[in-house]
Amino acid sequence: MTPSAISITNVTKSFGEKFALRDVSLELAAGTFNVLLGPSGSGKTTLLRCLAGIERPTSGTIAIGDQVVCSDQVLVGPEKRHLSMVFQDYALWPHLTVRHNVGYPLASSKWSKAQRSARVDDLLERVGIAHLADRYPNELSGGEQQRVALARALSADVGLILFDEPLSNLDADRREQLRIEIATLTRESGATAVYITHDQAEAFALADRVGVLRGGQLVQFGTPEQIYQRPADAFVAHFTGVSGEFDVEDFERRSDGLATLTLPFAPEHPIVACVPQPIDEGARASLFVRASAVRISDDCVERGLHGTVLDAAFTGRGYEHVVELAPRATLTKVFSETRYERGAAVALQLDPRSCFLMSLENERK
């Protein structure tokens, strides 16, 4: 198996007058794990289906490895694209056992019967369902069915594996366990992976590269660290997880890539924040605060913002708090190993490296 590089060039897909994708271009390196992240209706599923050959773009070109599989003149069928897919609803053959579902992609291979059988046995063992080999899909739990679907995708020994939100139907414990298995087994296979989700924590945990989509457009593509630390715009900052978002009354750019700003409800406490993207003086802007930026203290003499604890939730490793800074101005997911009771007065310090001053003037619609 040779991993496949992917080239998506100026791909647009419309359904009548509605555009699902608008001029999307993307280069995916061979052997990398790539996640397409976005809310419902962002175009991520349509892009995956175009890559799989289930949908044909209205315009644009898609190449898998050295082969153009879709253009104005070319359309290669899904069965000839040398890829496999893990579907959200598993898509298992109900009349086949687990063993035969996993072995199905090998039926037309040049491998001997013994080789095919050994391959299936190895995959069943690796995904932890060897003891279920002779059962049928309707005799399995959702997590077990998803493991069958993963083993089947890996059995074909193809260079590209597509994942259509495979964990969305599972409970939290099974999601975490299967996420680790997907990451480990896919990387062990060496295949290129394209995985779609609306969950930013899942995306950051899995990906080598993340593509953020909104309204059919690719807003940003980069490593999880790049997207978390230097969001391309206000939408990316908000969608990838913030503790709070506040209107900014005034700000002043500094020469070190930071800005000093004031918030309407706390003009006496200047805030320092990163400016990850260009912003004009006087432009309408907001402050986005990551949860990791906030340090909470009960020392209310300490310089910084002050607030009142509205709620506290135990998370196992500590406590997450909701803190009200002013009416309709709150910070959520404020972590501390110490619990602060509801109604407690607290002080907050913000780390500039995880606070972003973002323009709202050119936010993508």
Domains of the chain: residue spans and CATH: 6-236 (3.40.50.300), 241-359 (2.40.50.140)
Residue with tokens 């300490």, as numbered in its chain: 302
Quick check: 14 pLDDT over 80? yes
Instruction: Quote the pLDDT of residue 88.
Output: 84
Q: For residues 299 and 217, give the distance between their C-alpha atoms in angstroms, rounded to a whole number.
A: 46
Tell me, what DSSP letter sits at residue 73?
S
Higher local confidence (pLDDT), 304 or 166:
166
Query: How far is residue 128 CA from its own chain's centroid?
Result: 26
Q: Please give the single-letter amino acid code of residue 252.
A: E
User: What does R_g of the chain's alpha carbons equal in angstroms?
Assistant: 24
Q: Summarize pLDDT for 314-358 with one digit per residue, the tens.
A: 999 999 999 999 999 999 999 999 999 999 999 999 999 999 999
Instruction: Quote the pLDDT of residue 283.
Output: 80
How deeply is 328 buried, as exposed, middle or buried, from its count of CB atoms within 10 A (0-12, 13-18, 19+)?
Answer: exposed
Residue with tokens 């002043």, as numbered in its chain: 252
Tell me, what DSSP letter sits at residue 75?
B
Q: For residues 286 and 179, give the distance between their C-alpha atoms in angstroms, rounded to a whole number.
A: 34
Q: Summarize pLDDT for 52-72 with one digit per residue, the tens.
A: 999 999 999 999 999 999 999
Q: For residues 143 and 150, give the distance between their C-alpha atoms in angstroms, rounded to a whole number.
A: 11
Instruction: Quote the pLDDT of residue 177.
Output: 85
Quick check: 301 pLDDT over 70? no
Instruction: Quote the pLDDT of residue 365.
Output: 45
How deeply is 45 buried, as exposed, middle or buried, from its count of CB atoms within 10 A (0-12, 13-18, 19+)?
Answer: buried
Quick check: 364 pLDDT over 60? no
Rounded average pLDDT over 196-206: 94
Rounded average pLDDT over 251-262: 90
Higher local confidence (pLDDT), 239 or 175:
239
Q: From the CB of residue 154, how many other CB atoms can be counted at a distance below 10 Å?
A: 25
Rounded average pLDDT over 208-229: 97
Instruction: Quote the pLDDT of residue 239.
Output: 94
Sequence-distant (≥ 6) Cβ neighbours of residue 188 within 8 angstroms:
none
Quick check: 195 pLDDT over 60? yes
Q: For residues 360 and 14, give the distance between their C-alpha atoms in angstroms, rounded to a whole number.
A: 28
User: What's the full length of the chain, in residues?
Assistant: 365
Q: What is the pTM of this model?
A: 0.90
Note whether 36 and 194 are within 8 A (CB). yes
Q: SS3 for 124?
A: helix
